[in-house]
Structure formats: structure tokens, C-alpha cells
Amino acid sequence: MTVVLDDGLDWRAVARVAKGEPLCVSDAAYARIDRASRIVDSIVASGVRAYGINTGVGALSDTVVDRTAQGRLSRSIVFSHACGVGPLLDAREVRAIIAAQIANFAHGHSGIGREIVSYLSLFLEHDCIPDVPSRGSAGYLTHNAHTALVLIGEGQAQLGGRTLSGRDALAAMGLQPLVLGAKEGLSLVNGTACATGLASIALARASHLLDWGDAIAALTLEAAGCQIAAFDETVLALRPSKGIATVGASLRSRLQGSGLIAAAHGRRTQDALSLRAVPHAHGAARDVFDVCASIVDRELASVTDNPAILGTPEQPVVSSEAHAVAPALGQAADSLAIAIAQIAAMSERRIDRLVNPLVSGLPPFLASDAGSHSGFMIAQYTAAALVNDNRRFAAPASTDGGLTSGLQEDFLAHPTAAANKLLAVLDNAEYILAIEWMAGAQAHDFLDSVAQRAAGTDALYSLLRRHIQHYSDDRPISADMERVRAVLRDEPPHQPGQVF
């Protein structure tokens, strides 16, 4: 289904484009783009000094560039800013950044020509993915510049399963390299499209993971014989929270009709917090998610180019501002990273409760033959190691600061670093939840003779057993982890009655 860009995009639309849906820019959006382009043309003709149009950038903002050199300025900005390093972003991430960049241009305050937007839209249509290194951005410049390289026939891109030069990739799509005009180079590297695109993907992945987190926790709660009264709607309502209420309802639905839960009634006065506080930790993450989503949507609704083009061709206005700085976006991504890291840490604690013979009431380490088999002993080590990684990733990027451009840029908000850290936390959290899912299913294998599972948890158990069998120390467990993580990443948590 085509995503239509008219008045703007939200994070869900960016995530859809990232997954492969085409993006169509409306005539109204192109009209706004054309109007801003005409304003820039009038500034060039008049010679009035305007940042980034006929001046240098950053600390060189007071250096005037004559009219004949303005196109060369745009091209040189792209070259000098394309200084990313490290592994390349994946196709989904690059598509999200391009979609967010088109949305920024479509506000009509950048001053670029419509050909740039048309080319970027064709990149999405043909799934032409510029090679964009993942590291080296203090804000937004380097990632955007590597995409811009391909527009002018430089750099490299992935197209049809092949790595092509920028010029060859354009030719394969029937395009010629663009010749950039005044301000276009600056606009192409400017704005918060990189952090916003990455954050949109992170939101899509986090939303998916939050649903899985609730479902897998229910499987563990059942195996551990939880005291479900702690999740009563009336009890949870004593702490008002949309997130807590949502998680509580999910757990009650998943565990409805469980013979195992009924058999465990009154076994303990209260459960350990990694069991009893699932609605509180998972609910807090959902509440943080809602705030983060609203901030990303606000970012997509904002003009994040500097300078902003306003006025009319007859009375042009160029406003130098700081909209390309995104403290709120960095803080939002940092907050969600902390929330997801906490969910993953709680998942690891539940894994330990399943494998630990001191508290589980199950065979030690869920091993089929304890002693000659280690079962899930070392799988819990893996989860603990990933939790420690997440603890480091959860340190906020938005407080890092830094100085660039000869003291002209003496405050850095690091939204791109925050978004990348959030994606890394999500990677680890997916593995940790996959291990819990595996351990939960293994625990249920030992409980078959005790009582029946709930229909909601049986759906999860059956789905897992379609992909991996009971673990008997008969194969490397890492392959099972990868397989289960792929299922968790690509499929929603199944409900009772679904056909697999």
C-alpha cells in the first residue's frame, strides 16, 4: 500500500516506507517545495547575504561565496560532510532516513529543487540503498551526506543485489547525476532526518517487542506458578497508569483458564518482583513509549532545516535558527532505551527463576539429565551478558555534549547516537526475550503432567515448538537462539485459535 505524503508523515508511515512500501509525494507538497525554491532563486539574484546560500557554513558563516561558486559550494559540502565510518546501515534504516528527509523537504522551507525530492522518491521506488556508514555523526550531517553522494553520481549504492557506483546506480534507474544549486548541498546534509528515521524504526520494533514481552512473561508466570491475584484489574488500578492497565489486561487474557495457575493458587504469599512487577516495568515502558512516539511525530511535523526559507520571492526571508538541533529527540530515544533495557533485565531475572534449582521447583537448569547435561545454564549467562551490554548502552547520549566547528557549534544533543543506542538495546532485548521464550517452553515440557496450560500461552508454546524441539544438549543452543529471535522479530505474538 502506497504511503502518500501530503501534509506530513508520522512515525508509523516512515516505518512502513522503511519496510518497503512506496512513498508518493502529493502535488500540494511539490507546490510548497517549488515555492521555497523560487525564494532561493530570488535571493541568489539579489545577492543579499543569506547563510548557506551565499555564505560558508558552520564557523565559516560570515564568509561570502560569490554567485559563480555557489553550486560548487553545494557539491563541496556533500563531499566534505560524507565522513562516516564503520559498518553500513541496513536497507530498512536507510529507507527510513530518506523518507524522513523527503518529509522535511515537503514542508516547503528548505529551498531545494523538486528534482531532489523526485530522485529520492525513485530511490525508494527502486529500492536503491546508498551506502551509509553507521558511525561518525555528532548530529545528522554525515549520514545524510552519504545519501547525497549518490544523487550527484558519487559514492556507492546497493541496487538489485549489486553494489554499484553512484553514477551506475542512477543510470540503472534511467537518471543522470544531479547538478546542485545554491543551498541544496546544505539542505541535503541538514536537518534531523537521520535521527528521526532511525527513531521511527526503533518505535516500530519497540512496539512489537513490548507485545512479545508481555506474552513471553505470561508463559513464564504460568510455569512459575504465579499468584495471579496481583494482576487483578482493581488491584492494578490503585496505581493509575495506562501502561500498567494495558499489561495487566494482556496477562489476564493470556492466562485465562490456566490449570497451572489454578493449581498454584496460595502456594506463596507473594511472588518475587521479577514476576509480580511485570505490569509495572512493562507498563512503565509503554508509558515512556507513548511519550517518545509523540516526540518523534512532532519532529516529523517540524521544519528542521537551517536556515529556514520564508516569505515570498518578492520579499524573501531567510531565518537562521537551531531547528536542526533536537534535544527532545535525543532525550526521548535515551528514555526509551532505558525502559527497554529494564524490560530485558527483568526478563533475564525470570530466566534465572526458571533455571535456578533453588527457586524453580523444576529440574536444575531445565536439563533433561541434570549432571550429564547443562541445559539452559549457559543460556542464562548469555542473557546476563546482554543485560550488561544494555546497561552500558542505556547511559544517555543526550548528555554527552562536545564542541565542533571552531566553537560555533558548542552544544551537541546527539539524537542520532541516542537512536543508534536504542536500536542496539532492542537487538539485545530481542535475544534475551527469545531465550526466556525458549526456557519457558522447556519448563512447560516438565509440567505437562501437572495441569493444562492456558489457551493463550499454549499458542506461544506451540509456535515455538514448530521451530525448535525440546533441548537435550544434543545440538549447539546458539542456533536455536538465532532461529527463535528471528521468529520473535518477524512475527506478532500469536493468540489462541490462530492457525500457524
pLDDT of 132 above 80 = yes
| pLDDT for the residue 499 | 46
Confidence of residue 78 (pLDDT cuts 50, 70, 90): very high
- Amino acid 74: pLDDT: 86
Mean pLDDT of 160-172: 97
Q: What is the pLDDT of residue 293?
A: 98
Stretch 20-26: mean pLDDT: 97
Would you mind telling me the total number of residues written for the chain in this entry?
A: 500
Q: Can you tell me the mean pLDDT for 153-164?
A: 97
As beta bridge partners, residue 319 has 308
Task: Point out the least confidently predicted range of 213-222, 274-283, 317-326, 361-370.
Answer: 317-326
pLDDT at 276 over 50: yes
pLDDT digits (tens, 9 = 90+) for 80-110: 999 999 999 999 999 999 999 999 999 999 9
- Are 89 and 197 spatial neighbours (Cβ–Cβ below 8 Å)? no
Which class for 119: exposed (0-12), middle (13-18), buried (19 or more C-beta within 10 A)?
buried
pLDDT bracket for residue 56 (50, 70, 90): low
Is the pLDDT assigned to residue 138 strictly greater than 80? no
267: which residues sit within 8 A by CB, 6+ positions away?
225, 227
Residue range 449-473: average pLDDT? 96
**For 377-434, how does the pLDDT look when each residue is reduced to its tens digit (9 = 90+)?**
999 999 999 999 999 999 998 887 777 666 666 667 789 999 999 999 999 999 999 9
Q: pLDDT class for 64, splitting at 50, 70, 90?
A: low
pLDDT digits (tens, 9 = 90+) for 210-263: 999 999 999 999 999 999 999 999 999 999 999 999 999 999 999 999 999 999
Question: Is residue 115 classed exposed, middle or buried when 0-12, 13-18 and 19+ CB atoms within 10 A define those classes?
Answer: middle
Q: What is the pLDDT of residue 372?
A: 87
Instruction: For residues 173-189, give the mean pLDDT.
Output: 94
Residue 146, pLDDT above cutoff 80:
yes
- Count Cβ atoms below 10 Å from residue 137 Cβ, excluding itself: 24
Beta bridge partners of 162: 159
**Whether pLDDT at 5 is above 80:** yes
Q: How does residue 281 score in pLDDT terms, banded at 50, 70 and 90?
A: very high
Sorted by where each starts, the structural domains of the chain and their CATH numbers stand as 3-190 (1.10.275.10), 206-490 (1.20.200.10)
Q: What pLDDT score does 500 carry?
A: 41
Whether the per-residue pLDDT at 484 is higher than 80: the answer is: yes
Mean pLDDT of the 118-125 span: 98
